[in-house]
Structure 1
Amino acid sequence: MPYQPEPLSPAQAAAARRSLRNGRGALSRRTLLRASAGGALAVGGAAALAGCGIPPAAKPQGAGSEDHSDREKRVVFSNWTEYMDVDESGKRRPTLETFTERTGIAVKYTEDINDNVEFFGKVKPQFAAGQDIGRDLINVTDWLAARLIRFGWVQKLDPAHLPHAYANLSQQFRSPDWDPGRAYSYPWTGIPAVIAYNRKALDGVEVRSLGDLLDRPQLKGRVSLLSEMRDTMGLTLLDLGKDPGKVTGDDFDAAIARVQKAVNRGQIRRFTGNDYTSDLSKGDLAACVAWAGDVVQLQADNPDIGFVIPDSGYMIATDNLLVPRRARHKRNAERLIDYYYEPGPAARLAAYINYVCPVDGVKAELAKLDADAAANPLIIPDREMAAKSHAFRSLSAKEETAYEAKFAQLTGA
Structure 2
Amino acid sequence: MNNPRKWKAMAFRTAVICFGLGAAGFLAHCGTSAPVLHIYTWADYFKPALVARFEKENGCRVIIDTYDSNETMYAKIKAGASGYDLLTPTSYMVSLMNSQGMVRKLDHGLLPNLVHVDPEYLKLAIDKTMDHSVPYMIVNTVIAYLGSRVKDFEPSWAMFDRSDLKGRMTMLNDMRETIGAGLKYLGYSINTTNEAELAEAKEVVVLWKKNIAKYENEQYKTGVASGEFLLVQGYSGDILQVQQENPDVRFAVPREGTSISVDDLVIPEGAREAGLAHSFINFLHDPEVAAENTAFLKYLCPNKDAYGLLSDDLRKNPAIFMDAEVRAKSEIIADLGESLALYIRIWDEIKAAK
Q: TM-score, length-normalised on structure 2?
A: 0.79
Q: Is the Cα–Cα contact under 8 Å of residues 343 and 362 in structure 1 kept in the other structure?
A: yes
Q: Please, which of 155, 166, 176 is the counterpart of residue 230 of structure 1?
A: 176
Q: Is the Cα–Cα contact under 8 Å of residues 39 and 62 in structure 2 kept in the other structure?
A: yes
CA distance in 2, matches of 1:114, 1:332: 22
**2:343 equivalent to 1:357:** no
CA distance in 2, matches of 1:23, 1:113: 10
Q: Which residue identity lines up with residue 335 of structure 2 in the other structure? A: S
Show the counterpart of 1:76: 37
Show the counterpart of 2:16: none
Across the aligned residues of Structure 1 and Structure 2, the Cα RMSD in angstroms comes to 3.2
Show the counterpart of 1:213: 160
> How far apart are 1:305 and its partner, in Å?
0.9
> How far apart are 1:125 and its partner, in Å?
6.0
CA distance in 2, matches of 1:71, 1:309: 45
Q: Is the Cα–Cα contact under 8 Å of residues 175 and 182 in structure 1 kept in the other structure?
A: no
Q: Please, which of 179, 200, 213 is the counterpart of residue 254 of structure 1?
A: 200
> How far apart are 1:170 and its partner, in Å?
5.7
> How far apart are 1:329 and its partner, in Å?
5.2
Higher mean Cα deviation, 278-287 or 339-348? Answer: 278-287
Q: Is the Cα–Cα contact under 8 Å of residues 75 and 333 in structure 1 kept in the other structure?
A: no
Show the counterpart of 1:145: 94
CA distance in 2, matches of 1:325, 1:140: 14
> How far apart are 1:110 and its partner, in Å?
1.3
Q: Which residue identity lines up with residue 411 of structure 1 in the other structure? A: K
Q: Is the Cα–Cα contact under 8 Å of residues 192 and 317 in structure 1 kept in the other structure?
A: yes
**2:150 equivalent to 1:202:** yes
CA distance in 2, matches of 1:25, 1:356: 21
Structure 2 residue runs without a partner (length 5+) = 1-5, 13-23, 29-34
> How far apart are 1:352 and its partner, in Å?
2.2
> How far apart are 1:225 and its partner, in Å?
1.9
Cα distance per residue 1:236-286 (max 9 Å; x no partner)? 2112111113342222111011222344xx433433323123432344433
Q: TM-score, length-normalised on structure 1?
A: 0.69
CA distance in 1, matches of 2:118, 2:154: 33
CA distance in 2, matches of 1:280, 1:126: 37
Show the counterpart of 1:85: 47
CA distance in 1, matches of 2:213, 2:75: 33
The structure in which a higher percent of residues are helix is 1
CA distance in 1, matches of 2:26, 2:167: 62
Cα distance per residue 1:304-339 (max 9 Å; x no partner)? 111111222111222221123354654553343222
- Within 5 Å, give how 1:1-400 maps onto structure 2: 21-22=7-8, 24=10, 71-72=26-27, 76-80=37-41, 81-87=43-49, 93-97=51-55, 101=57, 105-115=58-68, 116-124=70-78, 133-169=82-118, 171-172=120-121, 174-177=123-126, 179-203=127-151, 205-214=152-161, 216-263=162-209, 266-325=210-269, 327=271, 330-367=274-311, 372-381=313-322, 386-396=327-337, 399-400=339-340
